[in-house]
A = this chain, B = another copy of it.
Amino acid sequence: MKNTFGNSFSVTLFGESHGQAIGAVLDGVKPGVELDLEKISALLKLRKGALAFSTKRNEKDEFKIVSGFFEGKTTGTPLCFVIENNDTKSADYSKMKNIARPSHADYTAFLKYHGFQDYRGGGHFSGRITAALTAAGAVAMQILETCGVKIGTHILSCGAIEDRHFENYESDFSALSKLDFPVLDEKAKEQIEARIAGARKNGDSVGGVLETAVTGFPASVGEPWFDTVEGVLAHILFSVPAVKGVSFGCGFDFGKMVGSEANDPFAIENGKVVTPTNNNGGVNGGITNGMPIVINCAVKPTPSIYKTQKTIDFEKNENTDLLIHGRHDPAIIHKASVVATAATAIALLDLLSGRFGTDLEIK
């Protein structure tokens, strides 16, 4: 289905970096949900990233909801966001249009679209499109909140620097919603910021690892085969730009563990079934068990760097050197963290709507 994700709740994306507008159509929206537009704006603002590290493109991200929203509430029919593009300097791009920026999509886009793609600023591949994805996710989050579900993401590591894991989800999520640079531990935050500043100075960029957690999500959701909760979440999370790995619970650390340390024993505590450990990240056999869903995403370093790189001109079919000019970020993990939250919300709302119906009557 290409640019559409989801069955019961779905999101369709459109737009290019330097086209007229970008946007998203949300379908299967629960009717009657009051939307807090300020919260959507706030998430979009976080997505643009902390100013010190982020590009100077003055994206206004002023969104319009052109359908599916009436008298302050969702109608249940498709909700369409439109975000106009401004401040686009297309002249920068035309001469570079056949030069493949390493680890970018220029070359693969050329092959797929036979050269007809809008090449300006990455076109439909641009991180700009994540503004639409984030707006969609912000709505999904507000619908999920009516069911008691909350989501937060922070930078778990960058280089060798590690943030602490979530401790108190409630207060950590609340803190993160206000942080323009989502690191829980103050000292780790400073170190990561310093590492990024160093990379910038060096004309280079950094990657990192994100940790997303979801609380309040009902048990019994997901499928044993194919539409596992892990599979559905990973499917969308690889659309967060630069994400190259997705794992749940202990993830790749499981490879070093033995069963007796990896297993999560069940227990009844205060009349509720829990697993005192949560190595499986809230999912057993593809189905949620009622514990927090815990996800890690690996984010590669921003491919745009201020260094001369070897590459090709795919029109002339010859090798060439490339020094990328213009604005670009030494890090996008902090932006990716917002998009990961949004993407997680979209996938989980889809799963929830499929399980309990479009009115979300959860028992």
Ordered by A's residue number, 12 sampled pairs between the chains whose C-beta atoms are within 8 Å are: A1-B7, A3-B78, A12-B25, A20-B66, A102-B264, A125-B224, A245-B245, A246-B246, A257-B301, A263-B305, A267-B310, A267-B311
**Judging by beta carbons under 8 Å apart, are A358 and B363 in contact?**
no
Question: CB distance A285 to B2 under 8 Å?
Answer: no
- Residues from chain B with a CB closer than 8 A to the CB of A102 are 263-266, 275
Q: Is A219 an interface residue (CB 8 A)?
A: yes
Report Cα–Cα, A129/B12, bound state, in Å: 18
Question: Which of B22, B247, B265, B311 is in CB contact (< 8 Å) with A244?
Answer: B247
**Across the interface, which residues of B come within 8 angstroms of A80, CB to CB?**
14-15, 21, 23
Q: Contact flags (1/0) for A234-249 with B, using CB distance below 8 Å?
A: 1111110001111111
Q: Which residues of A, 1-15, contact B by the 8 Å Cβ criterion?
A: 1-5, 7-8, 10, 12-15
**A354 interface residue per 8 A CB criterion:** yes
Determine if B124 and A78 form an interchain contact, defined as CB atoms under 8 angstroms apart.
Answer: yes
Across the interface, which residues of B come within 8 angstroms of A258, CB to CB? 199, 202, 204-207, 301
A31 to B288, CA, bound (A): 18
The 6 closest A-B pairs by CB, nearest first: A105-B285, A245-B247, A205-B259, A357-B357, A108-B287, A77-B124
Sort chain A's interface into a size bin: 35 or more
Chain B residues, Cβ within 8 Å of A105: 224, 284-287
Q: Given A245-B245, A280-B300, list of 13 further CB < 8 A pairs?
A: A2-B225, A12-B25, A13-B226, A14-B66, A15-B66, A31-B112, A74-B116, A75-B118, A111-B220, A238-B286, A245-B247, A251-B252, A260-B307
